[in-house]
Amino acid sequence: MACGVGLIWFLILLWPLLGIQPEGLEFGKTFKVFGYIAVAAVFIMFFYQIQEAGHLDAVGDPIKSAQGKFKQAYGNMPRWALLGIVLVAAVIFPLVTDRYAHDVSISVLIYICLGLGLNIVVGLAGLLDLGYIAFYGVGAYTYALMSLHFGMSFWVCLPVAGMTAAIAGSIVGYPTLRMRGDYLAIVTLGFGEIVRLIFNNWMGLTNGPNGILGIPRPDIFGFQLKQLWMLYYVILVIAVFTILSVYRLNFSRIGRAWEAIREDETAAELMGVNTFMLKLLAYAMGATFAGFAGAFFAARMRFVGPESFTFLESAMVLAMVVLGGMGSIPGVILGVLALVALPEVFREFELYRMLVFGGVMTLMMLIRPAGIWPAARVGRRSEEED
């Protein structure tokens, strides 16, 4: 019954997308696409009912056994070996792929930096930030202005961009972090829009909606890195630094304090945790990595404008963190791959690409509501043991 109602609603939403054409109303294409999806949905529901009835245990038990063996082998394998394999694959990747793959991988690595920075604020400290992309813009404009007006190199501007974004995060966080829940989300959304409007209207500094052109690319000993595969290695170094930094923060005393604030801020404060200063530190640290990513974004595009830092980008990064698993570094990386690389895989579907993409994302959230790779809890609660 629920499947039938869902299919009817899907048909109601699908027909305006495919049936309304400049030439008039068309029904053939709509019902053709709907027929394929309806057959697939009924097929999936049929197998789901069979599985719930236990008729597929003969097939499912060997699969579960193989999955358990794989998890055991993964747990027994040294962590350095796994990380070494991933790092070697990342280094070799641009040597065996084309320009299009380089472009997509650079976007993935930029969003990994953004996702891990927001993961500090949302995943570890439990603060809902809807204006996070503003710090990305601060880092981009910092590098653009310093490189053009003062002739400073990318490598000198990179830490300055991170520091400037951290200061901006502290300025935004100081008056807002005394709020909680929905009020905090609304205020951060407002501050994000304020920063974007400043970029859009301060003609003397940011050139307003026209943006800033001619931003220099990164260079090494005077040699400018112009090829995409060269820029790939630059953002790879920044992403690896971000991953290592967030990992160290996660398993430090500060990371434990952030998790205590996320679980119960009142209890953490009663236990002696300076909640306000640690929340402010979470904002500053998250903004720092966004500033790094913003500086590289400006150097890669050689242009920066306010339209690149809208609320939609903040929502996109937040979706990556939630989908991957809040507080989990591998989860955030997988969430970025799902939301950035997966649509490119479905590019051949043209008009149906986002439809397929949305369906896959919905299915993933139904199967894994805690995220693709949830963060492992340190210790166990008494109710979990019960």
Domain parsing of the chain, residue ranges = 2-55, 95-373
Residues 6 or more apart in contact with residue 348 via CB below 8 angstroms: none
The predicted pLDDT at position 80 comes to 79
**Please, how many CA atoms are within 13 Å of residue 198, restricted to the half-sphere of its CB?**
12
Compute the distance between CA of residue 305 and CA of residue 209 in angstroms, rounded to an integer: 6
The torsion angles phi and psi of 45, rounded to 5 degrees, stand at: -65, -40
Nearest residue to 246 (alpha-carbon basis) of 280, 283, 292, 285: 285
User: In degrees, to the nearest 5, what angle opens at C-alpha 147 toward C-alphas 142 and 152?
Assistant: 110
The domain made up of 95-373 is a member of CATH 1.10.3470? yes
For the chain, 386 residues long, the average pLDDT of each consecutive 10-residue run is: 70 68 67 78 77 67 68 72 88 91 94 95 89 94 94 94 94 82 85 92 91 92 86 95 94 91 88 90 94 96 92 90 88 90 69 66 74 68 46
Enter the tokens of residue 250. Answer: 């996660």
C-alpha dihedral sign at 331, 333, 339, 342: negative
Whole-angstrom Cα distance, residue 169 to residue 187? 13
Gap between the Cα atoms of 315 and 352, Å rounded: 22
Residue 123's nearest CA partner among 243, 298, 282 is 282
Residue 200: Cβ within 10 Å count: 17
Looking at residue 230, its pLDDT comes to 93
